[in-house]
Amino acid sequence: MNRRNLLQLAGAAGVVAMLPNARRAAAASSAPRRLIIVLAQGGWDTTWALDPKLQSATTDVPVGAKQMFGNLDVFTDASRPNVTGYFTKYAPLTAVVRGISVGSVSHQECVKRMSTGSRNELNPDLAAIVAHDRGNDMPLPYLILGDTAFAGPYAVSAGRVGATNQIIALLDPAQAYQTNGHAPIATTTSEDALLAKYADATVKRLHATRGATGYNRKRVDDFSEAIGRGKKLQAVRAGFGARGRTLTLDSQVDLALDALEQDISQTVMTSTRLGWDTHTDITDQAGFHETTYLGLTRLLDGLSTRAGRLAGTKMIDDTTVLVMSEFSRTPKINSTGGKDHWPVTSAMVIGAGVNGGRAFGATSGAMESLAVDFTTGKPSATGRVVTSTLFAAGVLKVCGVTPSDHLGPTEVFDAFVG
Amino acid sequence: MRMLRFLAPALLAACTASTETPAPDAPDPVDPTVVYLTPPQHLTRASMALRGMRPSIEDLKAVAADPAQLPAIVDRYLASPDFGETIKELENESLLLRIEQSTLTFPQPPTLPTATALDINGSVFDEPLQLIQDIVMSDQPYTKIVTADYTLTNGVVSTIWGLPHTGAADQWTHARATDGRGAAGILGIEALYHRWRSTGFNYNRGRANMISRSLLCHDYLHADIDVDTTVDLSDPDVVANAVVANPSCAGCHQTLDPLASYLFPFRGTINLVALQNGTDAYPIGGYTVAQETRWRTTNKRPPMFFGTPAQSLAGLGQAIADDPRFARCTAMRFASYLTEVPRDQLSGAWVAKLQGELVATNFSAKKLARAIVLSDEFRVSTDTDATAAETTVGAQKARPDQLERMLRDLTGFRWTTTTTAKLRNIPYGTPDLLKSDFVGFRVLGGGIDSYFVTEPVHTMNATSSLVAKSAAAAAADFVVEHDFAAPAAQRTLFVAAAVTDTDEAHIRAELAHLHGRIYGELVTADSSEVDDSYALYTDALAAAGNPRRAWKVTLIGMLSDFRSLFY
């Protein structure tokens, strides 16, 4: 009996209670990695931390200096203690990938390219892929706490919580919205069983007719599967908190940790929810970096202390964190004190499966992508530039997914894979 | 694959005399593996696609008896206000206007102290959609959406932009700007540019691409380019030179920047903080004619439409209307929306045929929609060829907006709630939960928020399943209580039985009626379909011992069933 059969045979609530142990057992053989993406949407300036540069005629840098954390060089300053604090604790777990060429300076286009490794918004993003391939039997394989995400063909595995965490209104009758002054009708467990039986009869009928094959069959199966996933979510509703809660990065971190720890989800998309698009005042990046690295420290603290899937391990042993922004900002400050869009960026890959404690890839003093050796990740005149697609392929590989299954035949920048 | 399979029949159809009457459910002579919907199923799909509502029993029976009745019923649908709502939803999926972002929500105007955030956003961002709806529903040429010399205003729009308004504050009425912006339809509406702000030294390029992408289906961002990182993108003078002289830039900017140059009379961004703290005041509208030449000091590219000179904003609108890509893009957008087939998977021959019909009918959007829903491409059910079946969209999912209208029409229920939530510190208002992103379930139900989520989800997932069940439960509760208390003649759904009836004959008769009304299935009371629903009712009755409760459970099952959520 495989895990899917088990889920089909058992009642939802009972199975959910069994999930952590079951997953730990499964993990022994396949070690599926969890993935948390932290998206700094709007375009961070990599000179403020991840890609240290010297002030020059071609590049404006903030106050601070390069600081070594083992073999990892980061741009820090006493005025940004959260950045320093993060790398002091977690540099050994952190790989910084520099010089990722995104090939555009449009927000939407670059978010799509960095998230999906492709040019098509109908393709799934990395978290959707990992959820589908490595955790599709969970109640909500792909939990979207942030704003932008691409579920593509794996939409059935994805779910959003809403701008004010209104998902809880669907999960917890006590927090459901009142309509016309009275609480909505809530069905009993036995009534739910009757409704499931009725839906199942429809599914059988459709399987025998216009839903027998192809696109229609997938829609019918998604319909059936979604009902089951919804029930599983209701069984773990305590992890979703209260309605009306605006999800700051810290709130998202807590929710993400709970969802992963309880095996509600395999992957989570979060957002810093900060105004990184600093065209008119680049110094805003200071506060945004501080908020973000404080949140990252909170996240890594949680991953480092909560139990992992295998006995004696921590969550960080089976969880990978990807921190990225769709692009970076121009090397030079513009006439209004800000920086504009720049098609080269850096990202962090942290935790399980990562060769941490150093940087991979490189940029020139003027922030251009440099060709790198894909084996070592070091600059090489005979190397190639790391594009968003090749980087995405590497992240998939870290998470135990075969990149070509989703991105087609592609090279993989995997120097940072441990 | 699907595209190729439709190529032959479409060409064949183009070469033969057209017929308005869909063929009976017989094998296609060119593509014999295609299976078409039955006439009642076809009517159901047309009704949902055009109105977001299920067909009446009478109309279902009419087309079952005589499929030739279908075009006339479709004409009736096209004349209904619900088709106008569909048009706004269709256009919004391209223009992405219906947003609920705090950072783009106008502060409450002092003269409108009771205006809610829903009132403000729902007015400001709907203005372009209202204009398009007005043009389509009055059957003016669709080209008017970029050439009309009027707009529509309500009280909020009038207050914010300073446009004239006559009539009640909550009514949309025709109005004309007097600031010289010219006859440019939606291109002359400030809300479009407030939604699509132009920051820093972007010089309207994002806006220009929005216009090109939405109206011409030409998206510059799809171009395969290699951004030259030796160019200092922070220096507008360097950029201005590069977009002319640097080959990697000029390829796109040669046409993009002149298009952007038309838009300088609109402000790049509107300072909402200044409006909030009182350093700026309403009305804030205005097309500043003097700014028409601002391109000389900014991007230095004279206004031009893909190499063709066109004078001012009105000239731009006319140039777009005259561009064959506009007709083609319109055909693609309508066809994709109404069939849920991605644009790049539509049959090229079918799109060409629709484009031709649009032009031949003097750009009648109604006739375009009519041609689509009466086509073979629209009424496909499945394909017996397994490979072709993979891309045959034979089950369309109701979008949240459609689900809202469907439930309202079926049960008389509106899923609204009161909330103390505030958006930009403005009381949010009373949202319809299937149309709200901020507190409601539009995105969780598979819809778009037009900002972060810009592609609808055409399948079910955990949250959309929960949304569907919750909405069904609320509607079922409402309609059962209503019909329980109402005189027989005033009941909404219970026409073949009273809510309290428990005898099998009445229950089965009522269920047969509900199958027709909710699923579009004309089935008899002793059919196997009704057997399933009857089992649900009797089991629920046995569990609860209460007919009202049993009917509520039964209706929850039916309203959240696949046959209700898909069409």
Angle at B244 between CA B240 and CA B250, to 5 degrees: 115
DSSP conformation class of B325: H
Average pLDDT on A2-18 reads 33
**In this predicted structure, what is the pLDDT of residue B230?**
85
Give the Cα separation of A300 and A293 in Å (integer).
10
Of the candidates A392, A144, A403, the residue with the CA atom closest to the CA atom of residue B457: A144
Which of chain A's residues have a Cβ under 8 Å away from the Cβ of B225? 103-104
Give the Cα separation of A399 and B525 in Å (integer).
54
| Mutation target vs B (from A219, A328, A333; most B CBs, 10 A cutoff) | A219
Per-position DSSP letters for A17-60, written without gaps between them = HHHHHHHHHHHHHH-PPEEEEEE-TT---GGGTTS-----SS--
* Residue B240 pLDDT class (50, 70, 90 cuts): confident
* Residue B200 pLDDT class (50, 70, 90 cuts): low
| Mutation target vs A (from B463, B527, B548; most A CBs, 10 A cutoff) | B463
Tokens of B538: 């009797």
Q: Is pLDDT above 90 for B22?
A: no
Helix (H) or strand (E) holding A267: strand A267-271
**In this predicted structure, what is the pLDDT of residue B28?**
61
Tokens of A37: 């993406």
Helix (H) or strand (E) holding A321: strand A319-324
Q: Are B491 and B483 in contact (CB under 8 A)?
A: yes
Average pLDDT on A299-326 reads 97
Which of chain B's residues have a Cβ under 8 Å away from the Cβ of A341? 233
Q: Are A282 and A333 in contact (CB under 8 A)?
A: yes
Instruction: Determine whether the interchain pair A155/B457 forms a contact, defined as Cβ–Cβ distance below 8 Å.
Output: yes
Average pLDDT on B407-423 reads 96
Q: Which of B233, B390, B465 faces A226 most closely, judged by CB atoms? A: B465
Of the candidates A242, A239, A245, the residue with the CA atom closest to the CA atom of residue A264: A239
Give the Cα separation of A116 and A151 in Å (integer).
9
Q: Is pLDDT above 70 for A174?
A: yes
Mean pLDDT, chain B, rounded, equals 93
Instruction: Determine whether the interchain pair A194/B553 forms a contact, defined as Cβ–Cβ distance below 8 Å.
Output: yes
Per-position DSSP letters for A349-385, written without gaps between them = EEETTB--SEEES-B-TTS-B--B-TTT-SB-TTSB-
Give the Cα separation of B376 and A129 in Å (integer).
35
Instruction: Determine whether the interchain pair B417/A214 forms a contact, defined as Cβ–Cβ distance below 8 Å.
Output: no
Of the candidates B187, B396, B533, B11, the residue with the CA atom closest to the CA atom of residue A216: B396
Tokens of B376: 């073979």
Q: Is pLDDT above 50 for B275?
A: yes
pLDDT over 90, % of chain B: 87
**In this predicted structure, what is the pLDDT of residue A19?**
32
Q: Which of B416, B417, B556 faces A187 most closely, judged by CB atoms? A: B556
**In this predicted structure, what is the pLDDT of residue B233?**
84
Q: Is pLDDT above 70 for B39?
A: yes
Angle at B249 between CA B243 and CA B252, to 5 degrees: 95
Which of chain B's residues have a Cβ under 8 Å away from the Cβ of A171? 466
DSSP conformation class of B68: G
Mean pLDDT, chain A, rounded, equals 91
Q: Is pLDDT above 50 for A129?
A: yes
The strand ranges marked E within B406-479 are 422-423, 426-427
One-letter amino acid of B309: P
Instruction: Determine whether the interchain pair B444/A188 forms a contact, defined as Cβ–Cβ distance below 8 Å.
Output: no
Q: What is the ipTM of this complex?
A: 0.92
Q: Are A153 and A124 in contact (CB under 8 A)?
A: yes
Q: Are strands A319-324 and A34-39 parallel, antiparallel or unpaired?
A: parallel
Considering only alpha carbons, which residue of chain A is nearest residue B440?
A166
Which of chain A's residues have a Cβ under 8 Å away from the Cβ of B433? 177
Q: Is pLDDT above 50 for A16?
A: no
Instruction: Say what the pTM is.
Output: 0.90
Which of chain B's residues have a Cβ under 8 Å away from the Cβ of A163? 100, 437-439
Find the largest Cα–Cα distance for chain A.
73
Considering only alpha carbons, which residue of chain B is nearest residue A221?
B460
Instruction: Determine whether the interchain pair B222/A119 forms a contact, defined as Cβ–Cβ distance below 8 Å.
Output: yes
Phi-psi region of B497 (alpha: psi -120 to 50; beta: other; left: phi over 0): beta
Q: Are A226 and A156 in contact (CB under 8 A)?
A: yes
DSSP β-bridge partners for residue A387: A101
Q: Is pLDDT above 90 for A10?
A: no
* Residue A2 pLDDT class (50, 70, 90 cuts): very low
Considering only alpha carbons, which residue of chain A is nearest residue B557?
A195
Tokens of B31: 């593509």
| Residue B511, CA distances (Å) to A305, B304, B480, B485, B523 in order | 56, 62, 14, 19, 9
* Residue B133 pLDDT class (50, 70, 90 cuts): very high
Burial class (CB in 10 A: 0-12, 13-18, 19+), B24: exposed
Give the Cα separation of B122 and B156 in Å (integer).
9
Which of chain B's residues have a Cβ under 8 Å away from the Cβ of A334? 200-201, 234-236
What interhelical angle do B312-322 and B324-339 show, nearest 10? 70
Q: Is pLDDT above 90 for B150?
A: yes
Give the Cα separation of A333 and A325 in Å (integer).
19
Give residue-wise pLDDT tens across range A179-223.
Answer: 888 888 999 999 999 999 999 999 999 999 999 999 999 999 999
C-alpha torsion angle, residues B404, B407, B412, B417 (rounded to 10): -50
Q: Are B365 and B78 in contact (CB under 8 A)?
A: no
**In this predicted structure, what is the pLDDT of residue B26?**
54
Give the Cα separation of B540 and A343 in Å (integer).
60
Q: Are B170 and B205 in contact (CB under 8 A)?
A: no
| Mutation target vs A (from B465, B548, B558, B566; most A CBs, 10 A cutoff) | B465
Q: Is pLDDT above 50 for B433?
A: yes
One-letter amino acid of A255: L
Considering only alpha carbons, which residue of chain A is nearest residue B470?
A170
DSSP conformation class of B373: H
pLDDT over 70, % of chain B: 95
> How many CB pairs below 8 Å do chains A and B form together?
255
| Mutation target vs A (from B204, B297, B460, B560; most A CBs, 10 A cutoff) | B460
Three-state secondary structure readout of A65-114? EEEEECCEEEEECCCCHHHHHHHHHHHHHEEEEEEEECCCCCHHHHHHHH
| Residue A44, CA distances (Å) to A114, A268, A269, B196 in order | 14, 21, 18, 21
Of the candidates B196, B137, B191, the residue with the CA atom closest to the CA atom of residue B163: B191
**In this predicted structure, what is the pLDDT of residue B19?**
41
Three-state secondary structure readout of B110-152? CCCCCCCHHHHHHHHCCHHHHHHHHHHHCCCCHHHHHCCCCEE
Q: Which of A215, A219, A226 faces B391 most closely, judged by CB atoms? A: A215
Q: Is pLDDT above 60 for B547?
A: yes
Give the Cα separation of B159 and B175 in Å (integer).
13
Considering only alpha carbons, which residue of chain A is nearest residue B461?
A156
Give residue-wise pLDDT tens across range B460-489.
Answer: 999 999 999 999 999 999 999 999 999 999
* Residue A13 pLDDT class (50, 70, 90 cuts): very low
| Residue B111, CA distances (Å) to B8, B108, B117 in order | 61, 8, 15
* Residue B27 pLDDT class (50, 70, 90 cuts): low
